[in-house]
Amino acid sequence: MKIFPAIDIKDKKCVRLLKGNFNNQTTYEQSPLEQATKYKEHGLLNLHIVDLDGALKGELTNLNIIEKIVNKFDLSIEVGGGIRSIKKIETYLNVGVTKVILGSAAIDNPSFLKEACEKFKDKIVLGLDTKKGLISTEGWKKTTKQLAENYLKKVNNYGFSRLIYTDIDRDGTKTEPNINETLDIAKISNAPVVVSGGVSSIDDIRKIKKIEKFNIEGVIVGKAIYDGDIKLSQLKELENA
């Protein structure tokens, strides 16, 4: 199972949002580069980065910070936030990012998702961020009337290499991931699925590891790391198990 420790960047700092609310965020002392250093020093292999400024503005606001992390560490890095054109995908891939996450742009324009998947094979990740099963976009500020399952059925054959399913109401809460909804998506998805939102303890991750045979590729862990509820050494042990 792949474990993706998270770095969410806003105003050049590591932050965590509560339920995607930009007005309810925790800012941490360590810089994104310092946090990535910790992950690398503990032997973790993957990294999930979100440019929150980019998600709000539709621009690659923190590209320079992300490029420094990519260049300094030998990690498999997926990046999302504000990526709404083929040119922006190319920019990230050219600096060495492993995979690019498409969210709002893919939801608003499925043909863009299809074009990206065809042009950048095995490089595109679909991010489905939901509230009560309905997809949210524009940095989670807008909730659509589109059910995640219905959207997925329309784009399932486009060729994205991974699907991240986030329950926004769990994100940043440390109240356990929404396993049931994620499994419902995993049963449909042609691509392997990553669990996101609500991880509170190492036991949550152990539970996810037990269901990886059901098309679950891994899990994203954020606030529980920053708050000290999960030790990086524990994550490494589970990733290797």
- 8, 53, 171, 204: the catalytic one is 8
Query: What's the per-residue H, E or C state across the chain?
Result: CEEEEEEEEECCEEEEEECCEEEEEEECCCCHHHHHHHHHHCCCCEEEEEEHHHHHHCCCCCHHHHHHHHHHCCCEEEEECCCCCHHHHHHHHHCCCCEEEECHHHHHCHHHHHHHHHHCCCCEEEEEEEECCEEEECCCCEEEEEEHHHHHHHHCCCCCCEEEEEECCCCCCCCCCCHHHHHHHHHHCCCCEEEECCCCCHHHHHHHHHCHHHCEEEEEECHHHHCCCCCHHHHHHHHHC
Rounded to 5°, angle at Cα 63 from 117 and 35: 105
Q: Which of 226, 228, 221 is nearest to 177 (CA)?
A: 221
Strand partners, 193: 163, 216
Reply yes or no on whether 167 is catalytic.
Answer: no
Rounded to 5°, angle at Cα 11 from 6 and 14: 25
- 51, 53, 129, 204: the catalytic one is 129
Reply yes or no on whether 8 is catalytic.
Answer: yes
Catalytic residues: 8, 129
